[in-house]
Amino acid sequence: MAASKWIHIQQNYVFLSNKLYVSEVLLRYLYQESLISRDQLEQLRDSRELASAKLSRLFDILTSQDDSCFDTFCRCLRQVGQAHVAEVLESPVSQTVQSKQTARGEAVNSRFLQTVGAAGSGGLASSPQSSTFLVATDDQLEIIKDVVAGDWVPFGRALLKVSTDKVRDIVSPYAAEQLRASEKAYYVLDHWRQREGRHATVEAMLIACEKIDKRGAAELALSSDR
């Protein structure tokens, strides 16, 4: 990779692997801005490809382009509600150690959740650390979005404690009529995580799932993802 702005992708690879969501809307923006070709768009849309392989493919495409495209990529991230990712990419390389430490911390959270989940659904609810230590990771949001996809609006109401209109407003900037239900659920979850910060815990997600009769399915999905 040439010494250019794209080196920020290499320096933040672990962070990006956990945080960057290659959604349909992001792909459309990248195509619109000529960062990817039509053939590349179709390849990246392939649902059979693992998320990690899709991310590597996207990075290979992007890092072959000049620095002006890096700025366009960051602008696209902001357009689809991933400004937090753009900010990390645009920060000086010397500051990227913190993002790597954050990603490692989230991996610890994920492993801790899996250990608790193995003890049964009661362990998740009764663990004294579940509402403070287990901040939801991107992987956990990915799991929950699929569990609640069919009920993303009532789930959003329960999670955010807002009206139906407020929940729908969250996805309206992202061409909502073209989004899959699971993508809408993800944007609701991501909005909640950004709003709540350290209070965006796994237990809070599970409580919201319980209100739509999905807690058991959510616990099973989280504990099975090993």
53-64: pLDDT as tens digits: 788 889 899 988
Distance CA(52)–CA(66), nearest Å, equals: 24
Q: Per-domain residue ranges for the chain?
A: 7-91, 105-224
Q: What is the pLDDT of residues 88-139, one digit of tens each?
A: 888 876 544 444 444 444 544 554 445 445 444 444 444 444 433 578 888 8
pLDDT above 50 (res 35): yes
Query: Does domain 7-91 match CATH 1.10.533.10?
Result: yes
CATH number of 105-224: 1.10.533.10
Angle between helices 181-196 and 138-148 (to 10 degrees): 130
85 vs 226, residue with greater confidence: 85
The per-residue pLDDT for 6 is 85
132 vs 69, residue with greater confidence: 69
Mean model confidence pLDDT for the chain: 78
Contact 55, 17 (CB under 8 A): yes
For residue 204, the SS3 value is helix
The dihedral built from the CA positions of residue 192, 90, 4 and 15, taken in this order, carries a sign that is negative
In degrees and rounded to multiples of 5, residue 64 shows phi and psi of: -85, 0
The per-residue pLDDT for 37 is 93
The per-residue pLDDT for 192 is 93
User: DSSP per residue over 122-141, as a string?
Assistant: HHHHH-TTTTTT-BPPHHHH
The per-residue pLDDT for 220 is 86
Q: What is the pLDDT of residues 164-220, one digit of tens each?
A: 999 999 888 876 577 889 999 999 998 998 888 888 888 889 889 999 999 888 888
Angle formed at CA 208 by CA 204 and CA 209, multiple of 5 degrees: 115
Distance CA(41)–CA(57), nearest Å, equals: 11
When pLDDT is averaged across residues 69-96 and rounded to a whole number, the result is 82
For residue 201, the SS3 value is strand
Band (pLDDT 50/70/90 cuts) for residue 49 is: low
Instruction: Judge if 7-91 and 105-224 fold alike in CATH terms.
Output: yes
The per-residue pLDDT for 147 is 92
The per-residue pLDDT for 133 is 55
DSSP state of 210: H
CA distances from 186 to 82, 123, 151, 155, 158 (A): 12, 25, 12, 11, 15
